[in-house]
A and B are shown apart, each in its own frame.
Chain A
Amino acid sequence: MHIPDNFLSTPVWVALDAISIPAAGLMVRRAGRDVEDTRIPLMGVMGAFVFAAQMINFPVGLGTSGHLVGGALLACTLGAAPAALVMTAIIAIQAFVFQDGGVLALGANVFNMAIAGVLAGYLPFQIWGAGRWRKQAIFVGAFLSVLVSASLALSELLISGIAMPQPVLLLSMGLFAISALIEGAITVSVVGAIEKLNPGFVRKAEASNGRTLAMLSGAAVVLGVAGFVLASSAPDGIQKLALQLGLTTKSSFHGPFADYAVGYFDSPWLRRATAGLAGLLVIYGICAAVGKMIARQRSA
């Protein structure tokens, strides 16, 4: 789900660009450290492979067909950070060359699909990929990766004030859940077939080194779930949140800025956007704090 430009309200896309630029930078640095130079062409060609893979249709019943999205498959074969890097490159090429997704919304799309999506796809593989539940882990990873990306995209649209009636919301959630299941099935069978050709193509789960990545992936899943809850209760939920924070005209706040607050927060769009921005900043703060904590733990 690529969000075009002008769908997200200004605070939302600005905040997501501000989050995605350092996050993608971190992923690129990590990938640069983990991957030897001989694998740089491999990452590019794998990106082209994911593009091309969309041409191969998988029959899923009822006369319809699905295709691979690829985040989890890349994570299983290249590792999380290189996969995030390749997905970022894919999303950028899609935005510029194919007008699939906006340029100002690049931060949002990179965050949803390349960072949160890939990390959520990698987490189960990282934890259970070595053991008996390997197949299930790959399935759950691919499922989560699509679901997390979609629910984040949906909640960003809702925070931006795009009204979606309850039935539409439920319908789109249902469709996303189905495509997430399809992605799980496709990824499992493709990984199985790839391993049959050459077991070395798929990473050994236990060989990967990071507690950090596991924690970040956990954060991505939590964020996705939070987004899901937010999306399903919004926009009422956000307005309620704004009400509780005293961001509405009905609040009993009568300070010197009361008039200003009334004027500013009279517009429901601004109110919602402000609440959304505040929420994102809180999330960003938590992520930054966790990151710092990890860094300290590592240097100690």
Chain B
Amino acid sequence: MHHVLVDRWSRGASPLHALDPRAKILSLAVFLIVLATTSANAVVPLTIDAALLLAGILIAGLPPGTLLIRAMAVLPFSLTFGLISWLAGDSLRAIGLIEKSYLSSVAVLLVVSTTPLPRLLGGLESLGAPRLLVLVAQFLYRYLFVISEQAQHMRLAAASRQGIPGAHRRSRFRAAAGALAVLFAHSYYRAEGINRAMLARGFSGKFPLLKPLRLKFADGLFLLAMAVFLVLVRVQ
């Protein structure tokens, strides 16, 4: 599955993996803002931005082909709107939508693939995201795979049982609603169990990071270099 792959990538070892998540998040923000304000026909800056991303992928030791294909998840949406804009006679915008949304997607994927999500969320929290929101996102990510797997089992089971051709649509609709209700109840009781188990293990209301975040000199240097470089490319 897609997210499992990204999760595995994010636990690699490379200079990019070793950077503090905050340095990566802020560099990503600079990159995205610079990209968003770059004109779609500014070929040189866009090429340099793309080359920068490619260099990042290679430095991080990620498979470029697989990653670039993953990032195409955005394309159905961009291509649709690109086509609409093109038909409306705005071909520059059409090209811009497609190339810039793809570059943004690659940039986000590069950061997520070099930062384990708990560290990424920890970085967001120390940059000011509300603690409760980060906590809920942590739980969500942790149980995403568990509940999804259960949903898949249920779907398989339902498909095996409902092989009767011509089963009434109404009854299949109600069966799906029942399945969701059961999934809901399972999730609910699972959450109660999780809560009790975590209290028993002394959960203090915060997930500790195995390696605490520490902003080193190299992180600051990276952020500064990225920001200066990107802005210089933008204003040329």
Contacts and interface: CB of A to CB of B under 8 A. Distances in A.
Interface stretch (B11-19, B171-179, B219-227): B171-179
Contacts of A107: none
A161 interface: yes
Contact of B133 (A51, A52, A88, A100): A88
Contact of A10 (B36, B184, B194): B36
B87 A165 contact: yes
Contact of B148 (A43, A55, A100, A193): A55
Contact of A193 (B88, B104, B133, B177): B177
A48 B140 contact: yes
Interface in A22-58: 24-25, 28-29, 31-32, 37-49, 51-53, 55-58
A194 B185 contact: yes
Interface centre among A6, A56, A103 (most CB of B within 10 A): A6
B96 A6 contact: yes
A31 B132 contact: yes
Interface stretch (B53-61, B72-80, B210-218, B228-236): B72-80
A42 B147 contact: no
A196 interface: yes
Interface string B69-112: 01101100110010011011110010011001100110011001
Interface string B140-182: 1111101110111011000000000000010011101111111
Interface stretch (A91-99, A173-181, A209-217): A91-99
Contacts of A41: 139, 191, 194-195, 198
Contacts, number: 232
A59 B173 contact: yes
Contact of A190 (B146, B155, B169, B181): B181
B201 interface: no
Contact of B195 (A42, A161, A201): A42
B43 interface: no
A259 B198 CA distance: 66
B93 A162 contact: yes
B30 to A, nearest CB: 11
A186 interface: yes
A7 interface: yes
A273 to B, nearest CB: 12
A164 B88 contact: yes
A97 B191 contact: no
Contacts of A77: 184
Interface centre among B104, B180, B188, B191 (most CB of A within 10 A): B180
Contact of A44 (B77, B136, B176): B136
A86 B101 CA distance: 26
B62 interface: no
B140 A61 contact: no
A97 B104 contact: no
B148 A48 contact: yes
Contacts of A46: 187-188, 191
B151 A189 contact: no
B143 A103 contact: no
A153 B213 CA distance: 36
Given A89-B133, A95-B108, A59 B172 contact: yes
B158 to A, nearest CB: 8
B174 to A, nearest CB: 6
Contacts of A198: 185
Contacts of B66: none
B130 A28 contact: yes
Contacts of B176: 56-59, 186
A130 interface: no
A85 interface: yes
Given A163-B85, A201-B188, A6 B36 contact: yes
Interface in A81-121: 85-86, 88-90, 92-93, 95-100, 102-104
A90 B81 CA distance: 24
Given A4-B74, A103-B32, A194-B181, A24 B133 contact: yes
B112 A96 contact: yes
B134 to A, nearest CB: 8
A201 B173 CA distance: 21
Contacts of B152: 55
A42 B158 CA distance: 26
Contact of B135 (A40, A60, A90): A40
- A-B pairs with lowest CB-CB distance, top 5: A44-B139, A193-B181, A163-B88, A189-B177, A5-B104
Given A52-B183, A56-B151, A59-B176, 16 more contacts: A6-B97, A44-B135, A44-B136, A44-B140, A52-B151, A55-B152, A85-B132, A93-B144, A98-B3, A99-B105, A99-B108, A102-B101, A186-B177, A193-B178, A194-B184, A197-B184
